[in-house]
Amino acid sequence: MNLMDALAPFTIATPQLFDGTAMRGPALVTVSGSLIQNVSFGEAPSPGMIALTSDAILAPGFIDIQVNGGGGVLLNDDPSEAGVRRIVEAHRRTGTTGCLPTLITDRTDMIERLAAIAQGSLQIPGVLGFHLEGPAINKVRKGIHLESEIRALSARDLAAMESFGDCGRSIVTLAPECVPPSVIDDLVRAGLRVSAGHSEATAMQIAQAADRGLSAVTHLFNAMSQLTAREPGVVGAALDDERLFAGIICDGLHVDPLSLRVAMRCKGRDRLMLITDAMPLVGTDLRHFLLQGRHITLRGTRLTAPDGTLAGAHLTMMQAVHNAVALLGVDIADALTMASRTPATFLGLASELGAIVPGYRADLVAFSSKFEVIQTWVSGRPNP
């Protein structure tokens, strides 16, 4: 099917459909333009329809709110429309139809460079906004972030960050204890979602930040104060506070399977979101890359700096869904919810994305019982 064909109505015949809530039997999904026009059950496929294989599942396309790179590109190294496009296209091949390219802690001028191309990049299929992870984070919990660039926000930093408020559905990750409370007010007022990450905050500080509009926690368990007997920390606050969404890296390396299961029991599929925190090697055969002057090496599925620090993840959303089933012990419907419906809700897009119902955007993924992506569609257009 070429691009022009995608503009005409077409119907996908699928033996299994996840509609955003539950798994359902054989279905016909008709797409007209960029939207889902009709979903029907109990009808036999007709000639001319796109017939998926007998073991296939059709689901809402995956939404990844934290993507540092892909296709050989790190956003920090190439904050351009061409760089964003390569990242997005690499992840689309693995089931992600919507993502937030992520800039990790860097110089003020890098934030401004990304801001300059952000509006134009929203025209790239699959770009829902951007994620600014830092620079106002806690050096104690810096992880792989470059310590020399971690800083209090200047007026120039804040202005650059606020400019993303009208750029899709963008996110800022910060450590609440490292900024004046008014910063959260300013960012939320500008239209940004604020997430706590790389933070040594107390549970009380997280609760106070949530009162001001903090709405999520970035890569739960990693680079944050932990749950202890007398201080619940960021982890305890995240697990307890129903207002907070939480992203989690489900690769079996960043978070122990037992902790994954605890998070699932506490947050449930409607607040826990699968993320990749992916680095540029995704979608390539490369085994090394440079991260702000440091050599990062891939061994197996583990990305590490020379000192052994984990440097993001070598993970796709399709793999994260598979891992959620295998490591959390959840059913496929729960895993798919955390990969699509829940992040759509967090981003305020639950009336447009994350479900296969008439009127929703035709962002779809078809994959096999072996968790291999067959095809994706963004706004009704198939991946070339």
- For the annotated catalytic residues, the residue numbers are 277
67 vs 315: CA distance, rounded Å: 10
Write out the H or E segment, with its range, that includes residue 39: strand 35-41
Q: At what angle do helices 81-92 and 108-121 cross, to 10 degrees?
A: 70
Q: Which of 207, 289, 307 is nearest to 298 (CA)?
A: 289
Local structure of 194: helix, strand or coil: strand
80 vs 21: CA distance, rounded Å: 37
One-character DSSP codes across 303-319: EE-TT--B-SB---HHH
Q: Is 78 exposed, middle or buried (0-12, 13-18, 19+ CB in 10 A)?
A: middle
Local structure of 97: helix, strand or coil: strand
Local structure of 64: helix, strand or coil: strand
Which residues does 44 contact at the CB level (< 8 Å), separation at least 6? none
Q: Which of 49, 36, 65, 51 is nearest to 10 (CA)?
A: 49
Q: Which of 370, 355, 358 is nearest to 97 (CA)?
A: 355
DSSP state of 270: T
Phi and psi at 282, nearest 5°, equal: -60, 130
Q: Which of 155, 181, 373 is nearest to 283 (CA)?
A: 373
Q: Are 365 and 95 in contact (CB under 8 A)?
A: yes
- Cα 245 to its chain centre, rounded Å, is 12
Sign of the alpha-carbon torsion through 56, 321, 2, 9: positive
Partners of 28 in the beta sheet?
13, 40
